[in-house]
């Protein structure tokens, strides 16, 4: 009952969804990504349009890109085929199929699309999909067998700060996360983890420390890649939590502090998610140079001095 009440409140505060077309992907991009062995991959990310995730996380804004109701069978395969038909040679090393939901939820990814996308992904050496830890199971293993490349599954751990983790409305505890990571490891499937910076209910002055601890936890559970995602507002619930003093949007300096601290975890690639990084609070004089430094760190993993700025560094 408590969860259902939270779901209703969170959904009631949302602005309208975008006008998503279930037969058209809402975007794609190609970028360089570093792997733990130091190899730089070219990765194609396809942002697929489909059913909304049933887990109504307080911080989430991905629901904007989803449709009401289940994904029509064949729609995702059509979306991916359309994106790949316009792809120029050479084929990237990795394809990431992100559907703003859970890849192993049949409501979001029907069986025929699992098969269809596995076939379309054949030219790629590696395939990444995203899914809640509780959906990792037999379908995951079947998909790993069906793709010709190596499978990687991305899971949102978000935070291990106990009070905050219990308040995210994610229905995830560490035992379930650990169970999912063991299944992946035991079956030769790579693990990518999403971690929040600025998670609601984490005190602003403790945000960097808890994010670093969460990254460390993910690495200890076998994560090969960890992405640090600054929490964004705009979904209604985050504005409500800010008004109550439970959320402070992270700053660009905090993102820098976090990534700099996580370069020590050499067993994994730790990166900063720079989507909308220019909207993070920070100095207007040096913001673009600081973001470019983070972009370089994402690719190289080699520590660099912080950007000097006459405004920031003024006494």
CA triple 48-49-51, angle to 5 deg: 125
- Average pLDDT along the chain: 95
Distances (CA, A) of 223 to 26, 64, 176, 241: 28, 28, 15, 30
What element of type H or E holds 183? helix 174-186
Topology, domain 2-299: TIM Barrel (3.20.20)
Tell me the sheet residues that pair with 195: 158, 228
Confidence of residue 3 (pLDDT cuts 50, 70, 90): low
What does the pLDDT average to over 193-219? 98
Angle, alpha carbons 216-222-223 (nearest 5°): 70
Which residue is associated with the tokens 């911080």?
A: 59
The pLDDT, as a whole number, for residue 315 is: 64
Query: Which is higher by pLDDT, 1 or 13?
Result: 13
As given in the structure block, the two tokens for residue 263 are: 């370069």
Which tens digit of pLDDT belongs to each residue from 47-71?
999 999 999 999 999 999 999 999 9
Residues above pLDDT 70, as percent of the chain: 98
Question: CA-CA distance, 79 to 70, in Å (whole number)?
Answer: 15
* pLDDT (tens digit per residue) in 250-309: 999 999 999 999 999 988 999 999 999 999 998 888 999 999 999 999 999 999 999 999
With a cut of 80, say whether residue 4 has pLDDT above it.
no
Confidence band (pLDDT; 50, 70, 90) for 18? confident
**Model confidence at 1, in pLDDT bands (50, 70, 90)?**
very low
Residue 270: strand, helix, or coil: strand
Q: 306: which residues sit within 8 A by CB, 6+ positions away? A: 256, 260, 290, 293
């Amino acid at each position: 009952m408590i969860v259902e009440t939270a779901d209703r409140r969170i959904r009631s505060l949302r602005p309208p969804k975008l006008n998503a077309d279930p037969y058209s992907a809402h975007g794609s991009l190609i970028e360089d990504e570093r792997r733990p062995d130091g190899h730089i991959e070219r990765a194609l990310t396809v942002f697929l349009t489909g059913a909304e995730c049933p887990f109504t996380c307080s911080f989430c804004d991905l629901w904007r890109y989803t449709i009401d109701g289940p994904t029509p069978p064949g729609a995702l395969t059509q979306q991916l085929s359309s994106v790949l038909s316009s792809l120029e040679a050479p084929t990237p090393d990795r394809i990431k199929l992100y559907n703003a939901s859970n890849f192993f939820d049949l409501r979001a990814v029907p069986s025929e699309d699992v098969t269809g996308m596995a076939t379309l992904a054949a030219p790629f050496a590696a395939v990444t999909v995203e899914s809640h830890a509780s959906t990792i199971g037999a379908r995951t293993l079947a998909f790993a067998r069906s793709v010709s490349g190596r499978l990687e599954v991305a899971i949102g751990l978000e935070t291990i700060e106990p009070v905050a983790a219990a308040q995210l409305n994610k229905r995830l505890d560490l035992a379930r996360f650990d169970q999912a990571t063991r299944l992946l490891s035991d079956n030769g499937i790579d693990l990518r983890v999403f971690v929040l910076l600025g998670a609601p209910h984490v005190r602003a002055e403790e945000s960097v420390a808890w994010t670093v601890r969460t990254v460390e936890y993910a690495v200890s559970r076998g994560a090969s890649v960890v992405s640090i995602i600054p929490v964004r507002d705009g979904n209604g619930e985050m504005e409500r939590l800010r008004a109550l003093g439970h959320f402070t949007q992270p700053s660009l300096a905090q993102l820098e502090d976090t990534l700099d601290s996580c370069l020590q975890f050499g067993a994994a690639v730790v990166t900063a998610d720079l989507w909308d990084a220019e909207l993070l609070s920070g100095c207007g004089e040096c913001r673009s140079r600081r973001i470019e430094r983070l972009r370089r760190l994402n690719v190289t993993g080699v520590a660099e001095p912080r950007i000097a700025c006459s405004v920031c560094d003024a006494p």
